[in-house]
A and B are shown apart, each in its own frame.
Chain A
Amino acid sequence: MNKDNNIILEVRNLDVKFFQDIGTVNAVNGATFQLPEGKSIGIVGESGCGKTITAYSTIGLLPPGGKITNGEILYTQRDGSVVDTAQLRKDGKEIRSIRGRDISMIFQEPMTALSPVHTIYNQLSEMIRLHLDLNEKEIRERSIELLQMVGIPAADKRIDEYVFQLSGGMRQRVMIAMALASYPRILIADEPTTALDVTIQAQVLKVIKDLQEKLSLSLILITHDLGVVAHMVDYVYVMYLGRMVESGPVDQLLVEPLHPYTKGLLRSIPRVRGERQDRIDSIPGTVPDAYFLPQGCPFHSRCNELVGEICKKEAPERVCVGSEHYVSCHIYSGSVNEGGAIDG
């Protein structure tokens, strides 16, 4: 990735494990990504690949039992200093001053992610009151303004309603408004449209995209949907079994995917327009158990382009295969090895 971009958030070799009675789940295994300021990146993968856990761990929101066992999460603060949020005390003051204030999150299910027994204003104003120094009148004005900004009609009336009185799309807009309430610098959207109707999805995505550009936010979009990624982000990371297998600028990666897994993902998208597909391909097999990680390349058990025995024995290095296009696969091992530069 271009080094003269200002990197606002960088995750290096992140390992997250869940310690349970029946065993240890290796949820994230060496995830690495960079978020340049004002840009948008996408993290794509099947459910269970660790993309959500990676995002949650950036602001210390791991579910009970989860623990960061290795790696760094480097956040460049407003004053230019860099802090490793992985090192901050769990739910301590430092991490809390970053949560919501600097790094905000939009969740998957707007219904359950918002409290059913508090009014919208109650939940929205709380965020403003916590992070901004405004009086009650200004808080109210700011709240209404936020709802208008995300396109909620009659915002001054809606604001005193409860979440269950709104439609799914409106709920997610409230969620977005809340996330943007205290002028955050980074917005993490975790599958923001998965729970919504298809017709609503596009609208909500447009709201996110427009606001990202208008407020020059840095955006991390987490999704399993490569179609969504194509419209929303500049740069894509493809994640499999807790690590990045391929990354590249969105137009390059989608047009010319290199990793067999990325190819499989792209083939499995049903197309409506364009040439007629005879059938929708799916990737054979299932994601291996996260209790026992496979040796060698994590994808070898489902790969249809195996190079040879090496795939089952050695994990492939990350190599650069084009301008800002990286892939971890033995097929491309002959290319220039840039893994060291990243890890260093």
Chain B
Amino acid sequence: MLSYIIKRLIYMVFTIAFISVVSFIVIQLPPGDYLTTMISQMEAQGDVVSAELEAALRVRYGLDQPMHKQYFTWVTRILTRLDFGYSFAYNQPVRNLLGDRLLMTMAVSASAMLFAWIVAFPIGIISAVKQYSLFDYFSTFLGFLGMATPSFLLALVLLWVCYQVFGTNASGLFSQEFINAPWSMARVGDMLSRIWLPMIVGGFQSAAGLIRTLRANMLDELRKPYVTTAKAKGLANAFLIIKYPVRIAINPFLSSVAWMFPQLISGMSITGIVLNLPTLGPLLLNSLQNQDMYLAGSVVLILSVLTVTGTLVSDLLLAWVDPRIRYQ
């Protein structure tokens, strides 16, 4: 088990190293660099930047260095000082912009995941046990619909329905009076009263996928001989189904959570944009539109690290519940 964890951790370090390269490429993608943006901003304000000054600045920011050196400087700054660079659009260090939004992204993603689990678990099991029942058809339909509906569309439709039914705008994570308020119990309460919409929107697609996986796994497991053995012992059906096939079908269920996690985080960025949430998604879009590349690269980096970590956690969870992996 320990060697398994160590192996996974080493993989993760490599993956994150890769991710940092990709994020750095994102930063470098648009024509021009850090300095060109800064200069054009200064010129927009009426300052004249001479060629000498530009060259001097270039040396100062290390932009005259070859690409790989620049990369290492960037990475070292992040690792040693949590310095993600500077956002021109917001005129402050990137780090200041990330904190709260990272927290919100995690809170919303976690609640969406939870929602997906809670919904998918009973539905998947029941529709497998009652295969070809009305309930099964209904859940299959729901599963298909969930897979076919882009999250932004679902968000739009739900927003509209909410508006039609309750007459309120359900977007955003906080009511007007709490948007810029400091954290308090009331603010948390306000957030909890609004989080259900992003939770449903973000979790629906994952739930649909999970229902399909769980149902298929359960159908496989229900036909396995150990179920007959358990029946031959004289156990009651409901008990043995939960103790054996459900217990075993949970393993691929958990591993599907691992590969669904990237999907969830990734879908969340669009949901965040449509629902106007204070998460990383809208920040990313904003920064991309403004060519605020240090910010964009950092968001990509952080979202990827978040994804990889989530995947790792669910893999470890899987190893923990499945002795076949644990004893390898």
Contact = CB atoms under 8 A, between A and B. Distances in A.
Chain A in direct contact with chain B (Cβ < 8 angstroms): yes
Interface of A: 56, 59, 61, 91, 96-101, 104-105, 107-109, 112-118, 126-127, 130-131, 162, 164-165, 175, 178
A242 to B, nearest CB: 20
A130 B225 contact: no
Contacts of B229: 105, 107, 113-114, 175
Given A115-B226, A130-B233, A162-B327, 11 more contacts: A99-B234, A101-B234, A107-B225, A107-B232, A112-B224, A112-B226, A113-B225, A114-B229, A117-B324, A175-B229, A178-B233
Contact of B225 (A97, A100, A112): A112
A175 B251 CA distance: 24
21 contacts: A56-B228, A59-B232, A61-B231, A91-B236, A99-B231, A99-B234, A100-B232, A104-B232, A107-B228, A108-B225, A112-B225, A113-B225, A115-B230, A117-B247, A117-B248, A126-B235, A130-B235, A162-B323, A162-B324, A164-B324, A175-B229
Contact of A117 (B234, B236, B323): B323
Interface residues on B, range: 20 to 34
Given A99-B234, A101-B234, A130-B234, A116 B228 contact: no
A116 B324 contact: yes
A107 B226 CA distance: 9
Contacts of B327: 162, 164-165
In the A-B complex, the 9 residue pairs with the closest CB atoms:
A100-B234, A99-B234, A100-B233, A113-B225, A105-B232, A112-B225, A96-B234, A113-B229, A115-B226
Nearest to B228: A61
B18 to A, nearest CB: 34
Q: Count chain B CB atoms within 10 A of each CB in A112, A117, A131, A178 and give the residue with the most.
A: A117
A115 B248 contact: yes
Contacts of A109: 225
Q: Count chain B CB atoms within 10 A of each CB in A109, A130, A131, A175 and give the residue with the most.
A: A130
B244 interface: yes
B160 to A, nearest CB: 44
Nearest to B221: A115
A116 B251 CA distance: 12
Q: Count chain A CB atoms within 10 A of each CB in B231, B233, B235, B251 and give the residue with the most.
A: B233
Contacts of B321: 117
B248 A127 contact: no
Contacts of A115: 226, 230, 244, 247-248
Contact of B232 (A61, A108, A116, A164): A61
B233 A113 contact: no
B237 interface: yes
B322 interface: yes
A98 B234 contact: yes
A164 B235 CA distance: 23
Contacts of B243: 118
Contacts of A61: 228, 231-232
A317 B322 CA distance: 56
A128 to B, nearest CB: 10
A96 B236 contact: yes
A117 B235 contact: no
A99 B321 CA distance: 30
Contacts of A130: 233-235
Contacts of A91: 231, 236-237
Contacts of B235: 96, 100, 126, 130
Interface in B298-328: 321-324, 327
B322 A117 contact: yes
Contacts of B237: 91
Q: Count chain B CB atoms within 10 A of each CB in A107, A109, A175 and give the residue with the most.
A: A107
Contacts of B236: 91, 96
A129 to B, nearest CB: 10
A91 B240 CA distance: 12
Contacts of B224: 112
A168 to B, nearest CB: 15
Contacts of B323: 116-117, 162
A114 to B, nearest CB: 6
A335 B99 CA distance: 96
Contacts of A97: 234
Contacts of A127: 233-234
Q: Count chain A CB atoms within 10 A of each CB in B231, B235, B243, B247 and give the residue with the most.
A: B231
Interface in B221-279: 224-226, 228-237, 243-244, 247-248, 251
Nearest to A93: B236
Contacts of A162: 323-324, 327
